[in-house]
Amino acid sequence: MAIHNKLGKEGEQAACDFLIAKGYTVRETNWRMGHLEIDIVAHEPAANRLHVVEVKTRSRADAHFDPMQSINQKKIRNLVSAANGYIRFYRLPMTVQFDVMILFGTPPDFQIHFIPNAFRPPLRSIR
């Protein structure tokens, strides 16, 4: 496994641990629908809300790079499409929130930045 893939997997595990410590239930990791993928699908029981979490992990050497730059409109559309597929597949009657977790460093000493409700699904206009 390439070093960046290993760092990404360790970052996703740290993100899951973070969410669990906050009282969330991790339902899925790396859920796929065709070419689309959701890093983490978590459930927040207190609000009966589904969280679609995009995880970006960078080493200390890459700390000058803003991982939010990679959350562009195409990425947002893909996450929204995947979330819609997940909800339809499991027939879940709950709201969805899109979160981003940015992890800097190396395991086990990640700095975690949790951005709840990082974006909202884009609205489609009727023409």
Residue in 126, 124, 121, 114 with CA at minimum distance from that of residue 75: 121
The terminus-to-terminus CA distance of the chain in angstroms comes to 48
Q: Which domain holds residue 57?
A: 3-118
Q: What is the pLDDT of residue 106?
A: 85
Domain count of the fold of the chain: 1
Listed in sequence order, the residues at least 6 apart from 24 whose beta carbon sits closer than 8 Å to its beta carbon are: 42, 43, 44, 45, 51
Q: Would 97 be classed as within a structural domain?
A: yes
Q: What is the pLDDT of residue 64?
A: 65
Listed in sequence order, the residues at least 6 apart from 119 whose beta carbon sits closer than 8 Å to its beta carbon are: 71, 76, 98, 100
Q: Would 123 be classed as within a structural domain?
A: no
CATH code of 73's domain: 3.40.1350.10
Q: Would 69 be classed as within a structural domain?
A: yes
- The model carries a pTM of 0.89
Q: Would 31 be classed as within a structural domain?
A: yes
Is the predicted pLDDT of residue 125 greater than 60, yes or no?
no
Q: Would 54 be classed as within a structural domain?
A: yes
Q: Would 8 be classed as within a structural domain?
A: yes
Q: Would 125 be classed as within a structural domain?
A: no
Q: Would 57 be classed as within a structural domain?
A: yes
Q: What is the pLDDT of residues 7-65, one digit of tens each?
A: 889 999 999 999 999 999 999 999 999 999 999 999 999 999 999 999 999 887 665 66
